[in-house]
Structure 1
Amino acid sequence: MAVFDQEPTPTDKIEARLHTLLNRARDVKQGSSIEPPLAISNLVQDGEHLALKVLDDADMQSNAFEVAAKRILYANLVSSEITDPSFVAVWNLLDIVQYCGDRNICSPQLVLLLIEELLDGLKIDGCKVVLTFLESRREAIIANSSQNKNLVILRSCNELLRRLSRAEDAVFCGRVYIFLFQSFPLGDKSSVNLRGNFHVENVTTFEDHLPTTDEQVDEMEIEHLEPESKEEVSEISKTDDVAVKPPELPRIVEKPLSTQDIHTLYPVFWSLQNAFSNPPSLFEEENFKHFQKSLEATLEKFKQVPLVATVASSADLDQNGGPDSPSDVNRDKLASTFNPKYLTSRDLFKLELSDLAFQRHILVQTLVLIDFLLTLTERSKSRPNYVNAQKAMQYAFTLGEEQTAWALGIKNTVANYLQDGPDGKFYYRMVDTVLSRDKNWVRWKMENCKPFTRDRVPTNDILEAKSGAEKEVKRKTVTKPFGISSSVGYLSNTAGGKGLAKLKVGRYIPPSVDSYGEKNKMIDLDLEMVTSEAEKRQLEGRKTSNTWRALRLASTDRLSSFDSLESGKGVERLFQPVTSIEAAAEDNAATDRDGRDGVPQEQHQSVEEQRAGETSQVTADTAAAE
């Protein structure tokens, strides 16, 4: 009995108060779903406080609150499943803890710690529901961001991703990654590979033995290196059928690509994964040549095999209805066809080659690697962003001219091939957009991740700028100079009464056409003695400007000379003086431009006189008849 006589601890008080708030929450939120969030203000009566802060010491208060919240959480996990309607008490508890964390009644990251406990104790289906809760409360959780919160989010999401299969739970993994990206700032370095390390641990395993039938041996021409000792023979005999790819590359004997069969291509094809996972291995000339031949053989085989589209196109999906129709099931299947790691069995290789999704998977890997190689050309390495990049992102290897031409050709071939098939245009546009944006991220990383955000402008600076702008646009009063008349009539009394008349005469005299001709002659002499390309471009620009100005002036009085101009041979013909014949031609042309369809002026005059005579004759005959 003495135990009940003891005074309740601070943890007990907080736990009792939380139970009271949860009981009220049942009446406030009638449903059992995650949405909408619990309205905490409705839990407190008029003039009442949460009264959850029972200790003055912040650390002791935080620890007591955490223990009390975990007691309630564990009790609900034991008594109910996540699919039960009573599990809404857990969502209400998390909302209350989030509210208290924003007001420093408990630690701000406590709600994330409780969610981490939930993720550790639930199955994958239950974790999907918890992630739905996180997505719905993300803005409220990250509103008051802190380093401790970010660490808990990163740790819990990484632990969840380790439990998931990227092949079977690709969509769920994508949701986790999207939540991470939305929770952290854009310029956060937590997930940036600053040193540019490659995932060399991603080793592809495949069968290292070859079929021994006579027909297949005739078609295959791959040589293997002979072991140097009996110990190596014994070690090779102990290996399994499926083993890690040997470090020695298979020697491909030159033969037409069209004659390579499935068994010949099998080791050649899967050896490409070594270059995809470790691109710096191509810096060695032998590895690069082997990669070239292997990739060319693979692309040729892709074009030969009949394609089987294992994924439905967008047109096929839309035949069953709109976005709210049962075709959403097909869309989920379309989104779940991604395979991060394909099976490398020899028996499946023929089927995989005909799979459109498999081909696209390999070709996208190729585009990523080719883009990496093209950043190592001599031209790319001379750009400022590469010269000023951190040392870890700079490589001593430089792609040669022949290798660059080959890389550009392969990239164009892959791009054209990806645009074929169902939704090929859309698929390639999506891939090209992602790779283009990825180049910007690589550049940002090479520049040591400069911050995106800018500091806020101080309030005093804004007020000073505002007041300065108001002073500049304020209407200024015009004051008359002392002792000077506002009229200009006094100029009529100066310079013999001609002062005002001189002001009315235009002082600008346009240059003549001949002056531009003389300028161009001097420029031609200067062009013969130029020493730099920049000076040559400057002189040619001045000559072009003078020629254009001369043509504009000549169009007023020398328009007939334009017929004698030849394209690209200068305009010296315009700079010659106008002869009397040309002047007469100009007068005739001006006279003919009267809108009479090109009929000469003399003919028009004779026609007018003839019509006037006919009119007078008709008038006379009419008068005589009367």
Structure 2
Amino acid sequence: MAGLSDLKASFLQLLQKREVTVQQVTELYNSLQGLDADKKSILEQAFRDVTRDSMVKDKGSYSSYVSLSIQSAEKGVCLHTLPFILLGDVLDSVTLEQCKQVFTFMESQVHVWVAPAFYSAGKHLLLRMCNDILRRLSRSQNTVFCGQIQLFLVNLFPLSEKSALNLMSHFNLDNVTQYSKRASDKEDYPIDYNLYSKLWSLQDFFRLPVQCYSADKWKTFTESLTDVMEAFASYKLEDTSGSRKQKEALPPAVIDDSHYFAKYLTSERLMHLQLGDNHFRRHFLIQILVIFDYLTTEVKFKAANHVLSDAQQKWVQETTAKVYQLLEETPPNGPVFTAHVKHTLERERNWVSWKNDGCPSFIPDTATTLSVRGRKRQAGDLVSTPLQAKKLDLGNEELSRLWNLNPDNLKACKAENRVYVPELSSFFEEALEQFDPEAQIEDEYKLVNKPNFTWRALRLLSRRSTHFFQGTQATTKTLPDYLTAVIQQTAKDTTS
């Protein structure tokens, strides 16, 4: 135990110095006696101790220790998980406001996290850290920071990563909307309580759409939704975005056309204002389209009886058209906004189909094709891998293109368009015409006296004509005379 204590003391003494370099850490690591596993474990604990102490004295010095741990891991004197462990310790000891600064540092090192050695060692630790921060944040008050974390995870993990997928299509049943269950008798509100109750009761169907497959629940859903849609149609909204004079009178800092509501208030006093609010209407109409998409789309984990009847599907289709019409009538830029909604829902259907197919990877796993446990690719791999993909790289773009015109080259050679042996009649047609005395073709210009023609003619006759092989009694003086005799005999057989 004394030896291990001495090791830790040596590492602590070095790390506590200012501007310590990775070379110094490496030299000390190599100079100390002991097993590599023990030295790495002790160095890791020393890093954690000095990082923890630095958070008390100077909360910004953690970044230098994390950077040093990254360099040390690259040198092989510590594990690749150490930088993630240090960041986890830091995040556990700072406030939410300070978490933003730490997370900004994490984003700046994303090129390190995606490196193979660090990614395989720390991807789950990074995911756990991000989820811990999200649990501490408020979705309504820290929306920007929450979005920043989500974008970081999207950029870090590939599309094929299933850790963030809702594979079983579970619903968020914790999202319960509270509203008044009975009409208030103290004040006279401008909106009928019956309409108020129907509008907010629909949130329970949006939260758990499978209720609509029940006959009694379906009746409640359709009646409430019909009344709410009629109320929206009766409240015509005006486009107030064009009040240029009012905007010109305000300072630029006051003008803000964007609004965000994490969750709308459900007070009866606000109901008449919400019916006239274009943002509120758009949120509600999009919720309707989303639940309709779920009810009519095939989802892998739906029960067998979760299917709409023909009459129900017809009602959904008709109501969908009304929803899109209300969206187009909702200012500002109703038609443009509606087109974006349709496009988004279409993309969502593609994701549903992807999940139904078992979430196949969009990008092939190149790790197995480039190396197997770090070994160098063998010559057989270079050939077998392209052959399995039915494509071969010959090292030349044009040769590769020609070779890969057909995945099966032997089959391609037998294709009809590759039959190059002509018919006897067509090939010797011109030569036969030249034999006619009326053609008045001099011997030196006849085809049988041209070497190119005679060579091709002999090859063709050897394959197609029985007269190519003459008996031993037959005698010819020259090759043109021989071809003339054979061509004429072949022509007689063909015409007879």
- Distance, in Å, in 1 between the alignment partners of 2:175 and 2:144 is 22
What amino acid does structure 2 have at the position aligned with 1:402?
A
1:219-263 Cα offsets, whole Å, 9 max, x none, are xxxxxxxxxxxxxxxxxxxxxxxxxxxxxxxxxxxxxxxxx9442
Cα 1:109/1:44, change in 2 over 3 Å: closer
Is 1:117–2:114 an aligned residue pair?
no
Quick check: 1:14 aligned with 2:11?
Answer: yes
Note the 1:55-454 alignment, pairs <5 A: 56-81=34-59, 87=60, 89-144=61-116, 145-146=118-119, 148-212=121-185, 261-305=191-235, 307=237, 334=258, 337-375=259-297, 389=300, 392-419=301-328, 420-454=330-364
Structure 1 or 2, whichever has the larger Rg, is: 1
Shift of 1:340: 3.2
Q: CA separation in 2, counterparts of 1:214 and 1:370? A: 36
* Compared CA separation, residues 153 and 425, structure 1 to 2 (3 A): farther
CA distance in 1, matches of 2:236, 2:11: 69
Once residues 407 and 446 of structure 1 are traced to their aligned partners in structure 2, the CA distance between those partners, rounded to angstroms, is 23
Which residue of structure 1 lines up, in the alignment, with residue 465 of structure 2?
A: none
| Aligned residue number for residue 19 of structure 2 | 23
Instruction: Give SS of 1:203's match.
Output: coil
Letter in 1 for 2:143: A
- Partners of 2:317 and 2:127 lie apart in 1 by 39
Question: For 2:289 and 2:401, how far apart are their aligned partners in 1?
Answer: 56
Q: Which amino acid aligns with 2:104?
A: T
The total of aligned residue pairs comes to 402
Distance 1:404 1:446, change over 3 A: same
C-alpha separation in 1, matches of 2:482 and 2:254 = 94
* Between 282-291 and 114-123, the greater mean CA deviation after superposition: 114-123
- Paired residues for 1:49-60 under 5 Å: 49=26, 51-52=28-29, 54=32, 56-60=34-38
Structure 2: gaps of 5 or more residues: 370-380, 404-451, 462-478
Change over 3 Å in CA distance of 1:169–1:303 after alignment to 2: farther
Asked if the contact 1:15–1:72 (Cα under 8 Å) also holds between the matched residues in 2, the reply is yes
CA deviation map 1:416-469 (0-9, x unaligned): 332331243443344333322222222222222223332444324368844599
- Where structure 1 has 5 or more consecutive residues not aligned to the other structure, the ranges are 25-39, 82-86, 217-259, 321-325, 377-385, 504-626
Residues 191 and 271 in structure 2, CA contact (< 8 A), matched pair in contact too:
no
1:147 to partner: Cα distance: 5.3
Deviation at 1:401, TM superposition (A): 1.7
> Contact 1:491–1:499 (CA<8 Å) still a contact in 2?
no
How far apart, CA to CA, are the structure 2 residues paired with 1:496 and 1:134? 89
Deviation at 1:358, TM superposition (A): 1.9
Encode CA deviations 1:393-413: one digit per residue, 9 max, x unaligned: 443222122211221222222
How far 1:60 moved relative to its partner? Answer: 2.5
For 1:440 and 1:178, locate their aligned partners in 2 and report how far apart those are by CA, in whole Å.
21
Task: Report the CA distance between 1:303 and its aligned residue.
Answer: 3.1
Q: CA separation in 2, counterparts of 1:329 and 1:488?
A: 102
Q: What is the CA distance between 1:7 and its match in structure 2?
A: 9.9
Task: Name the SS for the 1:301 alignment partner.
Answer: helix
Q: Judging changes above 3 Å, is the alpha-carbon distance between structure 1 residues 15 and 108 closer, same or farther for their aligned structure 2 residues?
A: same
Return the alpha-carbon distance in structure 1 between the equivalents of residues 456 and 227 of structure 2.
90
Partner Cα distance (2:73, 2:400) in 1: 48
- The CA RMSD measured in Å over matched residues stands at 4.1
Query: For residues 407 and 463 of structure 1, what CA distance do their matches in structure 2 show?
Result: 49
For residues 473 and 158 of structure 1, do their structure 2 counterparts lie closer, same or farther at Cα, with a shift above 3 Å needed?
closer
Distance 2:137 2:128 in 1: 15
Distance in 2, matches of 1:52 and 1:98, equals: 15
1:461 aligned residue (366, 380, 384): 384
Residues 576-615 of structure 1, C-alpha deviation per residue, up to 9 Å, x if partnerless?
xxxxxxxxxxxxxxxxxxxxxxxxxxxxxxxxxxxxxxxx
Output the CA distance in 1 between the equivalents of 2:187 and 2:86. Answer: 65
Cα displacement (A) at 1:213: 7.5
Shift of 1:306: 5.6
Contact 1:194 1:445 in 2 (8 A): yes
Q: Distance in 1 between matches of 2:33 and 2:321?
A: 69
Q: CA deviation at 1:271?
A: 0.6
CA 1:448–1:210: 2 relative to 1, 3 Å: same
Q: Give the Cα–Cα distance (whole angstroms) in 1 for the partners of residues 234 and 226 of structure 2.
A: 13
Residue identity opposite 1:111 in structure 2: P
How far 1:170 sits from its partner (Å)? 1.2
CA distance in 2: counterparts of 1:400 and 1:155, whole angstroms = 44
Instruction: Find the residue that maps to 1:204 and give its secondary structure.
Output: coil
Q: Look up the equivalent residue of 1:369 and give its one-letter code.
A: I
- Alpha-carbon distance in 1 for matches of 2:253, 2:482: 90
**Quick one: distance in 1 between partners of 2:481 and 2:253?**
88
